[in-house]
Structure 1
Amino acid sequence: MDGTVIHWGGAVVGLIIAIVLIFRKVNPVYALFGGAVIGGLLGGATIDLTVQYIIEGTNSVMGAVVRVLAAGVLAGILIESGAAERIAETIVAKLGEKKALLSIALATMIITAVGVFITVAIIIVAPIALSVGKKIGISKTALLLALVGGGKAGNIISPNPNTIAVAKGFDVDLAQVMIHGFLPAVAGLIVTIIVAKMLTNKGVMVSDSDQVAEEAGKKDKPSFGRAMVAPIVAIVLLALNPLGSILGIEALQAIKIDSMIILPVAGIIGLIAMRQTKSIIAYTTSGLNKMTGTAIILIGAGAIAGIISKSNLSAVVVQGIDVMGVSGTFLAPLAGILMGAATASTSTASIVAAGSFGEAILSMGTAPLAAAVMVHTGATVIDHLPHGNFFHVTAESVKMSIKERMKLIPYESIVGLTMAIVATILYGFVF
């Protein structure tokens, strides 16, 4: 080794140590930094080089970090104004009790898709789901699968941190990643409904104590029309350039506005439509606070990705694929799946997979956009394991025990795997 390239064995050991530390409840950021340092040193790099590679790795994710923080404006406004809750209530009310599971999954999907964190979206829709479930007799297992499955489907077509991270990781347009994730997301929603219906009478049923009473004096929520202004503006602005490319309209193609500008602007326009401009400081501060944790974790992910990207792991992986005779196309979703399982976070998995395996994936002939979508959907397959925050927050949202929550893991993995398979078929082989 020439002293500037880390041996793949050290990089892998560093990643494993980071995973173990996360399992041991060490803060994920420190776990990832610790794994990066150990991986660099075990891989043969000097302390100075290890630090340099870590800094280069963190620098590579700063674009994603800035965009994630900017997205906090839209997220904070949608959540704190009550707009997200109003959207969810309207969808469930319009579809009715006969289509309860569809309405719950669709509401969570849409709330997540318009820029609300998946965990927050589930928390918002969960009380509505519990109320419906108690009334018509649907188990918590089925309800939570509808919430999680809908959230996962919405997550791959959203301007959320995970989508921003994977788009930045492969240097492709955020809106393109969102658009190309639509068909896999629809497939995920359909499978969610099918599996959830099979679980309607399985598991613990909703009790009276599980339902959360409405807070006294809770402020009025905006109308559905006003609540939808911010999401619609964001979607339209994000879609202008991609639609121009698809339709061959040069005027639209010339419109290149970054999501760092679009998402805050959409949020502020929505706030004006809801006539709540006096609360702009409170809402945006809340949104920033909600995004800060994710932004910091992305920096940790960049650190470990920086070490792995400087190793010869990519070359070893490509060589192994050649020896086995397996199509290189499968490396993209597999990288997402493995990193999703390792970090129990779609956002972190997207950064680590792109930074660690991006070069190898692209060297196999996979287009950057296709790679981004396949890695992204792959990251949703096993990102719900117990060492991650998502597992525990979703369990608490429907007052479910850890034992019962564990039983749901295979079913939600089916949803993620469906989206990964559809994405791989579409963008790895068909298009």
Structure 2
Amino acid sequence: MIRAWKSLTLNGERLHNIFLSGGIQMQAPVLSWWAALIGLAVAIILILRKLNPVYSLLLGAVVGALLGGANLVQTIDILIKGSQSVMGTVLRVLAAGMLAGVMMESGAADTLARAIVKTFGDRWALLALAVASMVITAVGVFIPVSVLIVAPIALEVGKRMHFSKLSLLVALSGGGKAGNIISPNPNTIAAAKGFNVELSQVMIADFIPALFALAVAVLLAFLLRGKGSEVLDSDLENLAADSQVDAQNLPSLGASLVTPLLAIFLLLLNPIGSIFHLEFLEKINLDAFYVLPFAAIVGAIAMKQWKKIIPFAKSGMSRMTDVVLILIGAGAIGATITSSDLPAQIINLIKASGISGVFLAPISGILMGAAAASTSTGVILATGSFGKAILGFGVTPIAAAAMVHTGAVVIDHLPHGNYFHVTANAMHMDISERSHAILYESLVGLTATVVATVMYGFLHL
């Protein structure tokens, strides 16, 4: 019996080794394009119906794979493959959590906002508010949190200068959108890693589109300054309670700048070396995974808050948890689509129509951002689902990343998302009044998208 058991064990090991070596493989079939689209539609509908986005994406992936011709085992393989494909992005997003935690919880972001508004003065108040929101988002703070930080200052300025809430919100939201496309936030990381380019490259590529978006945001805010409800005395009540940090215990401006300046400096070393042909800098290739936590720790020490690094890290990690889970779900639905013939069908359809394939990049970003009402999720879905098709038109990876990324901020502020309601509460606006800003926010995002598409899609800069 012992001999028989050993023989059975050896045979099992041989079969296992044969399977691993490729002698026996269960290859997933090429899924039907229509099934992949149905899976994506199911995921979007479930998200709109308020089901948890992660479950929505996973269910959509399963439906698409099964309808497309995969069996139960092959469907799991597709989902695992998709989840594995986003692990690099997951690591960098988790690293970004440290920086976000330090900037938000230490009061550094609040210090930056107050310094910018004070520097510009009342005459340029709307520009100051937009720049403050842009800068705070650009240094790694989430855009909803940026608006929450600047909103109390904006309400005070609005009351003093008789600016409407609509005008103030457009300035804050527009500036935040401009900062969001040049930040080391999860959406930028997803755009970079979705097309296998460096994070710093995407940040640099989107800088000029961001400036155009900022200009349009300020212009619209100026034109709207007398439209909509004014800031009331009741809106100014309990502003201290609404603030994220005690204004009396904020760090100095110099200390607050250490984290963002160090992070930007280290991330730009390699690109600067490439631009100026400095070989010793070109050899320095510091990944965001190392740079962002390092800059955060150094910044915390500079602000004399190094004892709070653990709470800062905990806060940053908790804010990144939802993003990481969505990344896994988006990787699954993305794998379902890339395992189908949908990318090839899209390429054939666009070629037959005579429309430039360049437009697929911004359009996919716009549609996915709108579907999820989230920049990060929109970028993840667009890169995972349409990245292969976009590159199939000869679009360079950095151009694709820039166009998809800017496209995702066009209509990512719809009511089925978190940002819409957070900003409404921050500005003391009801749903109807908050909805009036949607068009103007979209114009800001569309400006960035058009500029990016012209620059990188047609001028090939």
Distance 2:187 2:28 in 1: 34
Structure 1 pair 206–10 and aligned structure 2 pair: CA distance change class (3 A): same
The CA distance in 1 between the partners of 2:57 and 2:227, in whole Å, is 38
Q: 1:330 aligns with which of 334, 356, 359?
A: 359
Between the aligned partners of 1:14 and 1:146, the Cα distance in structure 2 is: 37
Residue 177 of structure 1 corresponds to 202
**CA 1:217–1:85: 2 relative to 1, 3 Å:** closer
Q: What SS does structure 1 have at the residue aligned with 2:365?
A: helix
Structure 1 counterpart of 2:114, from 78, 81, 89: 89
Q: Could you tell me how far apart the structure 2 residues matched to 1:429 and 1:236 are?
A: 30
Q: Please give the alpha-carbon distance, in whole angstroms, between the structure 2 residues aligned to 1:186 and 1:400.
A: 28
Q: Give the secondary structure class of the aligned counterpart of 1:67.
A: helix
Return the match for 1:213 from 234, 239, 246. 239
Structure 2 CA distance, aligned partners of 1:363 and 1:50?
A: 25
Computing the radius of gyration over CA atoms, which structure comes out larger, 1 or 2?
2
The one-letter code matched in structure 2 to 1:213 is L
1:352-401 per-residue CA deviation (whole Å, 9 max, x = no partner) reads: 11111111111101000110000000111111111111111111111111
Q: Which residue of 1 aligns with 2:65?
A: 40
Between 1:57-66 and 1:106-115, the stretch displaced more is: 57-66
**Residue 400 (structure 2) aligns with:** 371
Change (3 A) 1:302 1:416: same
Cα distance in 2 for residues equivalent to 1:394 and 1:213: 15
Distance in 1 (CA, whole Å) between partners of 2:381 and 2:445 is 18
Matched, 1:255 2:295: no
Q: Counterparts of 1:210 and 1:26 in 2: how far apart (Å)? A: 33
Shift of 1:219: 5.3
Give how far 1:114 is off: 0.4
Determine which of 163, 166, 171 is the counterpart of 1:146: 171
338, 355, 377: which one aligns with 1:348: 377
Matched, 1:231 2:256: no
CA distance in 2, matches of 1:49, 1:408: 46
Residue pairs, 1:6-405, within 5 angstroms: 6-211=31-236, 212-215=238-241, 220-405=249-434
Structure 2's unaligned 5+ residue stretches are: 1-26
Amino acid at match of 2:194: G
* C-alpha deviation, 1:214, in angstroms: 2.0
Distance 1:381 1:57, change over 3 A: same
> After the TM superposition, which of the residue ranges 81-90 and 338-347 deviates more from structure 2?
338-347
How many residues matched? Answer: 430
Q: Is the Cα–Cα contact under 8 Å of residues 28 and 78 in structure 2 kept in the other structure?
A: no
CA distance, structure 1, for counterparts of residue 254 and residue 351 of structure 2: 54
Once the two structures are TM-superposed, the CA of residue 218 in structure 1 deviates from its matched residue by 5.9
SS at match of 1:116: coil
- The one-letter amino acid paired with 1:142 is S
Amino acid at match of 1:96: G
Structure 1 residue 213: Cα displacement: 3.0
Q: Is the 8 A contact 2:205 2:402 kept in 1?
A: yes
Q: Deviations along 1:98-142, whole A, 9 cap, x unmatched? A: 111110110000000000111111111111111111111111111
Runs of 4+ in 1 over 3 A off after TM superposition: 215-219
What TM-score do the two structures reach when normalised by structure 2? Answer: 0.91
Q: Deviations over 1:128-177 (max 9, x none)?
A: 11111111111111111111100100000000000001111000000000
Contact 2:270 2:282 (8 Å CA) reproduced: yes
Paired position in structure 1 for 2:18? none
CA RMSD of aligned residues (A): 1.3
* Residue aligned with 1:240, SS: helix
2:337 maps to amino acid: I
Q: Give the equivalent residue in structure 1 for 2:10.
A: none
Q: For structure 1, which runs of at least 5 residues remain unmatched after alignment?
A: none
Structure 1 residue 217: Cα displacement: 6.7
TM-score (norm 1): 0.98
